[in-house]
């Protein structure tokens, strides 16, 4: 099953309650909340009050993606606001293991996010503390950027690292996830796709139309790909 995490930063804040309901009705897996402090990234966005408000009507988990300096300072406040998942950028943390352990002590899912230029090797020794990993497929901080193709190999390597460690860790991909890029990410090993303006919140379309078209097209594309691969394997086995 393809899991979609709508990026609430892209929602219509004049009609946020309706958007939340529509996203849930469409089958969203969780809500992805981007928190930016104007320091780690140049933009500001969303905060504990937004999480608290969404929590009053949310029937699915809320994942907080902290793009902030000193993320350890904000773990308790986002937990209190209603987050179920809290992740932060490895590049911004001075004590990632301590912060991950604190998130888990609060009974939440703990995650690490890494930028496109950050090596996957940096998270090798964090795997035992992780429930999920956010792989950025664009530079963090702005919507509407181009997908960076080199991250696909990073997803593959991380997936193998998780298997080798015998851990149950979800891989979330975030940034310009349309049908083409989403298909590539799922085939590389991604578990959850963050849906933004390239998929779930398309201009001039309702959420229901955008969401359903994205899922249906993506599933059709993936089924075709897997069937083609299976056919080639089958043909090769017969030839022997």
Q: Which residues pair with 234 in a beta bridge?
A: none
Cβ(90)–Cβ(113) under 8 Å? yes
Residue in 34, 131, 178, 191 annotated catalytic: 34
Closest CA to 54 of 89, 77, 24: 24
| Euclidean distance between CA atoms 198 and 81, whole angstroms | 29
Closest CA to 101 of 74, 81, 130, 73: 130
Closest CA to 134 of 155, 108, 106, 165: 155
List b or e across 81-109, with b for residues whose CB sees 16 or more CB atoms inside 10 angstroms.
bbbbbbbbbbbbbeebeebbebbeeeebb
Give yes or no: 34 in active site.
yes
If you write DSSP's letter for every residue of 85-127 in order, what string do you get?
A: EEEEEGGG-S-HHHHHHHHHHTT-EEEEEE-TTS-GGGGGGGG
Give yes or no: 12 in active site.
no
**Largest interatomic CA distance in the chain:** 63
| Residue 238 phi, psi (nearest 5) | -70, -40
Residue in 37, 131, 174, 191 annotated catalytic: 174
Question: Would you name the residues annotated as active-site residues?
Answer: 34, 174
């Amino acid at each position: 099953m393809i899991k979609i995490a709508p990026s609430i930063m892209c929602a219509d804040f004049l009609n946020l309650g309706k958007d939340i309901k529509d996203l849930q009705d469409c089958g969203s897996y969780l809500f992805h909340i981007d928190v930016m402090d104007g320091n780690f990234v140049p933009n500001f966005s969303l905060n504990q009050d937004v999480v608290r408000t969404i929590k009053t009507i949310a029937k699915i988990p809320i994942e907080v993606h902290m793009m902030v300096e000193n993320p350890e300072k904000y773990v308790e406040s986002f937990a209190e606001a209603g987050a179920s998942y809290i992740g932060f950028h490895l590049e911004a943390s001075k004590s990632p293991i301590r912060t991950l352990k604190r998130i888990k002590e609060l009974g939440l899912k703990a995650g690490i996010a890494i930028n496109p230029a950050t090596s996957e090797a940096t998270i090798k020794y964090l795997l035992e503390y992780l429930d999920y990993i956010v792989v950025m497929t664009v530079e963090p901080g702005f919507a509407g950027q181009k997908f960076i193709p080199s991250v696909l190999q990073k997803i593959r390597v991380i997936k193998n690292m998780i298997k080798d460690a015998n851990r149950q860790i979800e891989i979330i991909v975030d940034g310009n996830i349309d049908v083409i890029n989403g298909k590539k990410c799922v085939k590389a090993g991604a578990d959850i796709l963050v849906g933004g303006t390239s998929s779930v919140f398309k201009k001039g379309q309702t959420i229901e139309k955008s969401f359903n078209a994205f899922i249906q097209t993506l599933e059709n594309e993936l089924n075709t790909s897997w069937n083609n691969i299976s056919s080639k394997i089958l043909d090769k086995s017969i030839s022997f």
